[in-house]
């Protein structure tokens, strides 16, 4: 069972902006090779940090408005929110330690 949350325009404010814990967002698409590569890593992080970090996935095909609002021009793009504000962002397929470095000091 997955530990991530599928984020939509409707759920964004509640799940991300009002979250009491940091949120790692993964902007992705099913046709994106690098997204499929890091997908299992993101899922693993969602499991490992489930008590201290919320992990959300945003499919850019379905949620183009959210992708545009975040300036996503390439995928995968990872965005970290804390207290309703963006605190870190990175584009491209990253190894697990680099993804962890985006949020580790926030939890």
For residue 10, the domain's CATH number is 3.40.30.10
Active-site pick, 35, 42, 79, 102: 35
Does residue 98 contact residue 90 with C-beta atoms inside 8 Å?
A: yes
Question: Of all residues in the chain, what percent carry a pLDDT higher than 70?
Answer: 98
Instruction: Give the DSSP H/E element, type plus range, for residue 29.
Output: none
Q: Which of 16, 25, 32, 93 is catalytic?
A: 32
Which domain does 13 fall in, by range? 5-106
Catalytic: 32? yes
- For position 3, what pLDDT does the model report? 86
Nearest to 45 by CA among 97, 105, 106: 97
35 classed as catalytic: yes
The tokens describing 47, both together, are 């499991």
DSSP 8-class letter at 46: H
pLDDT, tens only, 14-27: 999 999 999 999 99
The domain tally of the chain equals: 1
């Amino acid at each position: 069972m997955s530990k991530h949350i599928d984020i939509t325009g409707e759920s964004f404010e509640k799940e991300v902006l009002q979250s009491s814990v940091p949120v790692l967002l993964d902007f992705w698409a099913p046709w994106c090779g690098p997204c499929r590569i890091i997908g299992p890593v993101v899922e693993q992080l969602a499991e490992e940090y489930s008590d201290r970090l919320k992990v959300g996935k945003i499919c850019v095909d379905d949620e183009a408005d959210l992708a545009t609002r975040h300036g996503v021009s390439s995928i995968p793009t990872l965005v970290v929110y804390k207290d309703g504000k963006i605190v870190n962002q990175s584009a491209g397929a990253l190894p697990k330690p680099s993804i962890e470095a985006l949020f580790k000091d926030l939890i």
